[in-house]
Protein backbone atom coordinates (compact mmCIF):
# COMPACT_ATOMS: atom_id res chain seq x y z
CA UNK A 1 0.00 0.00 0.00
CA UNK A 2 1.49 3.32 -1.00
CA UNK A 3 1.66 6.47 1.11
CA UNK A 4 -1.14 8.23 -0.78
CA UNK A 5 -3.68 5.48 -0.02
CA UNK A 6 -2.62 5.28 3.60
CA UNK A 7 -3.08 9.03 4.11
CA UNK A 8 -6.37 8.94 2.19
CA UNK A 9 -7.71 6.12 4.37
CA UNK A 10 -6.65 7.97 7.53
CA UNK A 11 -8.32 11.18 6.28
CA UNK A 12 -11.56 9.38 5.45
CA UNK A 13 -11.58 7.66 8.86
CA UNK A 14 -11.06 10.94 10.74
CA UNK A 15 -13.63 12.74 8.58
CA UNK A 16 -16.20 9.99 9.19
CA UNK A 17 -15.52 10.07 12.92
CA UNK A 18 -16.20 13.82 13.00
CA UNK A 19 -19.37 13.59 10.90
CA UNK A 20 -20.73 10.65 12.90
CA UNK A 21 -20.03 12.52 16.14
CA UNK A 22 -22.08 15.44 14.82
CA UNK A 23 -24.98 13.15 13.89
CA UNK A 24 -25.15 11.12 17.12
CA UNK A 25 -27.91 12.40 19.44
CA UNK A 26 -26.92 14.44 22.49
CA UNK A 27 -28.78 14.07 25.79
CA UNK A 28 -28.49 15.25 29.38
CA UNK A 29 -29.68 13.50 32.54
CA UNK A 30 -33.13 14.64 33.59
CA UNK A 31 -35.71 13.94 36.27
CA UNK A 32 -37.28 10.98 34.41
CA UNK A 33 -34.26 9.55 32.59
CA UNK A 34 -32.49 11.46 29.87
CA UNK A 35 -33.60 14.55 27.98
CA UNK A 36 -32.88 14.65 24.25
CA UNK A 37 -31.15 17.77 22.94
CA UNK A 38 -30.94 17.02 19.23
CA UNK A 39 -27.56 16.45 17.60
CA UNK A 40 -24.50 18.51 16.79
CA UNK A 41 -26.02 19.74 13.55
CA UNK A 42 -29.58 20.58 14.63
CA UNK A 43 -30.48 21.39 18.23
CA UNK A 44 -33.90 20.39 19.57
CA UNK A 45 -34.44 21.95 22.98
CA UNK A 46 -38.19 21.29 23.19
CA UNK A 47 -37.86 18.43 25.72
CA UNK A 48 -35.49 20.51 27.83
CA UNK A 49 -37.85 23.50 27.83
CA UNK A 50 -40.77 21.23 28.76
CA UNK A 51 -38.76 19.82 31.68
CA UNK A 52 -37.87 23.37 32.77
CA UNK A 53 -41.48 24.54 32.65
CA UNK A 54 -42.67 21.57 34.73
CA UNK A 55 -40.07 22.15 37.45
CA UNK A 56 -41.40 23.27 40.85
CA UNK A 57 -38.47 25.64 41.24
CA UNK A 58 -40.10 28.01 38.75
CA UNK A 59 -42.60 29.05 41.42
CA UNK A 60 -41.43 32.27 43.16
CA UNK A 61 -41.59 30.95 46.73
CA UNK A 62 -40.13 27.53 46.05
CA UNK A 63 -37.31 28.91 43.91
CA UNK A 64 -35.13 29.38 46.99
CA UNK A 65 -35.98 26.02 48.59
CA UNK A 66 -36.03 23.56 45.69
CA UNK A 67 -32.80 23.23 43.70
CA UNK A 68 -33.32 24.37 40.14
CA UNK A 69 -31.69 22.65 37.20
CA UNK A 70 -31.82 24.55 33.92
CA UNK A 71 -32.11 21.71 31.40
CA UNK A 72 -32.14 24.01 28.37
CA UNK A 73 -28.80 25.51 29.43
CA UNK A 74 -27.43 22.03 30.11
CA UNK A 75 -28.48 20.95 26.61
CA UNK A 76 -26.88 24.02 25.04
CA UNK A 77 -23.68 23.30 26.95
CA UNK A 78 -23.65 19.64 25.89
CA UNK A 79 -24.27 20.60 22.26
CA UNK A 80 -21.54 23.23 22.38
CA UNK A 81 -19.12 20.74 23.88
CA UNK A 82 -19.91 18.18 21.15
CA UNK A 83 -19.49 20.78 18.40
CA UNK A 84 -16.25 22.11 19.89
CA UNK A 85 -14.43 18.85 19.23
CA UNK A 86 -16.43 17.18 16.43
CA UNK A 87 -16.19 20.04 13.94
CA UNK A 88 -12.37 20.36 14.22
CA UNK A 89 -12.03 16.57 13.88
CA UNK A 90 -14.10 16.62 10.68
CA UNK A 91 -12.11 19.57 9.30
CA UNK A 92 -8.78 17.85 10.07
CA UNK A 93 -10.06 14.73 8.30
CA UNK A 94 -11.08 16.80 5.30
CA UNK A 95 -7.68 18.54 5.19
CA UNK A 96 -5.82 15.22 5.46
CA UNK A 97 -8.03 13.74 2.75
CA UNK A 98 -7.40 16.71 0.46
CA UNK A 99 -3.69 16.59 1.27
CA UNK A 100 -3.52 12.95 0.25
CA UNK A 101 -4.01 14.03 -3.37
CA UNK A 102 -0.75 16.02 -3.22
CA UNK A 103 1.40 13.36 -1.55
CA UNK A 104 3.47 11.00 -3.65
CA UNK A 105 2.33 12.37 -6.98
CA UNK A 106 5.77 13.23 -8.36
CA UNK A 107 7.56 10.10 -7.16
CA UNK A 108 4.91 7.85 -8.64
CA UNK A 109 5.17 9.58 -12.01
CA UNK A 110 8.96 9.60 -11.92
CA UNK A 111 9.09 5.82 -11.39
CA UNK A 112 6.79 5.10 -14.31
pLDDT at 56: 59
* From 38-42, 64-68, 78-82, the region with the lowest mean pLDDT: 64-68
Counting every residue, how long is the chain? Answer: 112
pLDDT at 58: 54
pLDDT at 79: 96
Distances from the Cα of 83 to the Cαs of 26, 33, 36, 39, 77, in angstroms? 11, 23, 16, 9, 10
pLDDT at 112: 54
Return all residues near 33 (Cβ < 8 A) that are at least 6 apart.
none
**Residue of higher predicted confidence among 32 and 106:** 32
pLDDT at 82: 96
Digit-coded pLDDT (tens) for 70-108: 889 999 999 999 999 999 999 999 999 999 988 875 554
**Residue of higher predicted confidence among 3 and 91:** 91
Please measure the distance between the N-terminal and C-terminal CA atoms of the chain and give it in whole angstroms: 17
pLDDT at 26: 95
Q: Is the pLDDT of residue 18 over 70?
A: yes
Cα–Cα distance measured from residue 36 to residue 47, given in angstroms and rounded to the nearest whole number: 6
Per-residue b/e over 97-112, b at no fewer than 16 CB within 10 Å? beebeebeeeeeeeee
Per-residue b/e over 18-39, b at no fewer than 16 CB within 10 Å? bbebbeeebbbebeeeebbbbb
Amino acid sequence: MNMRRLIMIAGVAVLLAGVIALLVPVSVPGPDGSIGCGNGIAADLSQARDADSGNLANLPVLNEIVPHTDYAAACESALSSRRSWAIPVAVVGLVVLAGSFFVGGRTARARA
